[in-house]
Amino acid sequence: MSRKEDENLMVVAAVEGYSFKHNMASKDAFDLLARYNVLNLIRSQYDTLHTQGLDENVSFAEDVIKSGVSA
């Protein structure tokens, strides 16, 4: 599997994990994470985040959203 595919799988896992944790539809979670540029940030932080568990990736997304800085 290529790095790009791994990054995409990490993004999907973060979206699904976030949507499950916050009891929201996957599309709504995707739209929220996209609005706050979390999807691109996950890809850019792949080297660190791929060594973490899903909970850490979801926490990363929550921290970005809590900071209130959108793209």
Q: DSSP string of 7-67?
A: HHHHHHHHHHHHHHHTT--HHHHHHHHHHTTHHHHHHHTHHHHTTS-HHHHHHHHHHHHHH
Per-residue pLDDT in tens (0 to 9) along the chain, 71 residues? 898 998 898 999 999 999 999 999 999 999 999 999 999 999 998 888 888 888 888 999 999 999 986 65
Q: What are the residue boundaries of the structural domains of the chain, listed by start?
A: 3-67
pTM over 0.75: yes
- pLDDT at position 1 is 80
Q: What are the pLDDT digits (tens) for 47-57?
A: 888 888 888 88
